[in-house]
Homo-oligomer: A and B are copies of this chain.
Amino acid sequence: MSHNTFGHLFRVTTWGESHGPAIGCVIDGCPPGIRFTVGDIQAELDRRRPGRSRFVTQRREPDAVKVLSGVLPEEDGETLVTTGTPISMMIENVDQRSKDYREIAERYRPGHADYTYEAKYGLRDYRGGGRSSARETAMRVAAGALARKVVPGLVVRGALVSMGEKEIDRANWDWDFVNDPENPFFTPDPASVPVFTDYLDSIRKAGSSVGAVIEVVAEGVPAGLGAPLYGKLDQDICANLMSINAVKGVEIGNGFQAARIRGEENADEMRAGPEGKPVFLSNNAGGILGGISTGQPVVARFAVKPTSSILTPRRSVDRSGAEVEVVTKGRHDPCVGIRAVPIGEAMVACAIADHYLRHRGQTGRG
């Protein structure tokens, strides 16, 4: 990863700020001959779109993606085939209200990158969060939609497993429920919906915000992806997830819990399985041993901090060094972690697609 590009063979470069004319990405290295439609990409994008429920901001952004290069249209007028050259995708920003940014331009919002941007660059794009805007994540989701198609049989799904102090009951886990239109939280636990609803309503009324933990599970990952060190599959998944704005922690399999238990509990035992392959009796490793996939589901979790754009006044300073109070008005999700679910899935899918191609390159397998 280097600045705004990630991946080695399946390489994604993203660009754009929320208040410029557009945002976009370039996917380089995609295998040729992959068939998809703009609708496939759009379906993923719609999952993260603001306006899905009363718990995400009500901006009307159609997020209509355009595919500008790297594909040949088939005769049906809908299907696109990748040609192996770079695939450029773009979304125009239609909701750029002219707004008075003067106050934000001068003040460093606590918990935001205002001060650090200035410390780094000597200036910053104060309009709507600049590069750190949640809007940028749309392009990750678009790239992930293609990445999913690179690895045959790959299924990557995510779910919100905790919000603030509230956790789901894993005994109720139901993947089908996660994307149910009645489920505003990507929670896999139907019983958690009323709990999260009440909780988030109270957070919003208090002018506050709350974080979340997201779990992503990738099934259909062939054994052998990754490398023992430095190119570990778990490491690239973690790096991809940490590159998302507001993420403060990442873990694989049982993660931090592994540090609390004993070796004999933690190591996943094996028994003879079909086709001479082992069957694992547990999955504490999260599908990765020594940096390389085992063939079990790959499991990652990441923590999203509560947004710092809140109505509660906070102490800060401005560019002149004077002490000020900051209140962030406007439309803001009380829990930005909800929308992080499809983003996390996309970033995991990109890491796996990249390693699938790298593995095939080095070994000729896959």
Contacts and interface: CB of A to CB of B under 8 A. Distances in A.
Nearest to A313: B264
A277 B322 CA distance: 10
Residue among A268, A292, A315, A362 with most chain B CB within 10 A? A362
Interface residues of A, number: 152
A60 interface: no
A258 B305 contact: yes
A219 B162 CA distance: 33
A122 B33 contact: yes
Interface string A231-257: 110111011001101001111111110
B310 A272 contact: no
A270 B259 CA distance: 35
Residue among A162, A164, A285 with most chain B CB within 10 A? A285
A3 B231 contact: yes
Contacts of A124: 83
Given A17-B85, A361-B360, A363-B31, A258 B211 contact: yes
A29 interface: yes
A304 to B, nearest CB: 6
11 contacts: A3-B86, A5-B28, A14-B229, A15-B28, A24-B69, A116-B288, A132-B229, A249-B251, A259-B303, A263-B306, A263-B309
